[in-house]
Amino acid sequence: MAQGPTITTIAKRAGVSIASVSRVLNGLPTRQDTVSRVMAAAEELGYVRNAVARSLKSRRTHQVAFAMADVGNPAYLSMLREIQPVLKDAGYRLVLHSTGAVVADEIDVLHSLGERYVDGMIMVPLRVTEAHLEMLATARAPVVVIGSVPEGTPVDNVRADSRTGVRLAIDHLHALGRRRIGLVNGPLDTVPGAARGAGYREALGALGLPYDDELVEIGDFYRDEGRRAVATLLARRPDVDALMCANDLIALGALDVLRAAGRRVPEDVAVVGMDDTDLAAASWPSLTSVSLGSAERGRTAAELLLDRLQESEHAPRVVTVPPRLTVRASTTGGEAPPRVGESGTTGSGEPDGGGG
């Protein structure tokens, strides 16, 4: 059965944002020319507001929740900076939940949707358990998940492609002549940890490099854990000539340890992070990192949720944001150290946190 028009198709026809369409259809203050364009596009497309949605309109809170593992993690901040304005333009306030990646807390947040304190939720779970899937299947309000969920899960889903991202990084290191490439990963029972571990094995295999357990260290997605894990790996394999780190915070911890050990970056050990957060460009040396499109994933999730709030009957959608590699001095060199007082000096002011 062909899918009927939604606020996404109306926005494309009218040449306006999804948020603007949502404001018009919800009767919120909007410029008259925008109202005219949206209503004309809706009429052309044969859009009819869902009767159930209309009857529930008076019960809406015009609030949306954003649940993430750690509000201090720069990857989540990138998402937040995109989610907030999209929802605000559509007349919604944002409620934040920092769950610490505790499964029980995330399940509790999903359960609380039945209290109707928000109209919908965007969630970024590090682990996806059977309890998550059960709650998502019976959620009392629309939920968009940023991160991978099993096929058939009845929610809109915005995904990163960590495996391809790791492949980009390993290919880059290999092209630079690195052959003893270590992996410093987060927990393997998390969605990002599992994907990045699998991507590392696949990338090595594609290049004809052997997988070596001694070159892999599992920690967590925090800078302090990055320091511990890298120190352990270096003690075991001092001949490592490159490090693939599962996020930028781990990579910053790696730079701390290498600097303290007198190992030059990238001459002795090249370092790649993941997420390409603001910290990557501000570090010294600046950090080569794989962008997983945190900002784009946040913006896309907000748009999907607005569309779902407006028209709830279409099938769940899955959007995958492709990765890209940003090459900086931590793999190619050529960068002078910052003078005292410039950004990039090492300190403890950067936020630590878990992340995908």
Classify residue 236: in a domain, yes or no.
Answer: yes
For residue 51, the model assigns a pLDDT of 40
Q: Mind giving me the DSSP string for 201-245?
A: HHHHHHHTPPP-GGGEEE--SSHHHHHHHHHHHHHH-TT--EEEE
Regarding whether 171 and 287 lie in a shared domain, the answer is: yes
- Two structure tokens written together for 56: 């529930």
Residue 91, Cβ density class (10 Å: 0-12 exposed, 13-18 middle, ≥19 buried): middle
Kindly state whether residues 97 and 143 are assigned to the same domain. yes
The reported pLDDT for the residue numbered 337 is 61
- Residue 4: the pLDDT is 67
99 with 127, same domain? yes
Residue 335 lies in a domain: no
Domain check: are 41 and 112 in the same one?
A: no
**What's the CA gap between 174 and 299, in Å, rounded?**
34
Quick one: pLDDT at residue 345? 30
Same domain for 147 and 243, yes or no, is no
Q: What pLDDT score does 336 carry?
A: 61
The count of domains in the chain is 3
Q: Specify the pLDDT at position 52.
A: 40
Rg of the chain taking only CA atoms, in angstroms = 22
Distance CA 304, CA 143 (A): 10
**340 assigned to some structural domain:** no
Range of the domain at 173: 162-291
Residues 100 and 149 in one domain: yes
Both 245 and 315 in one domain: the answer is: no
Q: What is the CATH number of the domain that holds 276?
A: 3.40.50.2300
- 2 is a domain residue: yes
Residue 350 lies in a domain: no
Whether the CB-CB separation of 61 and 120 falls below 8 Å is answered with no
Q: 307 and 202, same structural domain?
A: no
pLDDT tens, the chain, 356 aa long: 456 678 888 889 999 888 888 777 766 667 778 888 888 888 888 876 554 444 344 467 889 999 999 988 999 999 999 999 999 999 999 999 999 999 999 999 998 898 888 999 999 999 999 999 999 999 989 999 999 999 999 999 999 999 999 999 999 999 999 999 999 999 999 999 999 999 999 999 999 999 999 999 999 999 999 999 999 999 999 999 999 999 999 999 999 999 999 999 999 999 999 999 999 999 999 999 999 999 999 999 999 999 999 877 789 999 999 999 999 999 999 776 654 433 333 332 332 333 34
pLDDT reported for residue 354? 35
Is 285 in the same domain as 182? Answer: yes
Tell me whether residue 309 is in a domain: yes
Strand 324-326 with 156-160, pairing:
unpaired
Q: How many CB atoms lie within 10 A of CB 27?
A: 10
Could you tell me if 69 and 92 lie in one domain?
A: yes
The neighbour count for residue 30, using CB atoms within 10 Å, is 20
Do 90 and 112 share a domain, yes or no?
yes
The CATH code of the domain that includes 35 is 1.10.260.40
Whether the model pTM is above 0.85: no
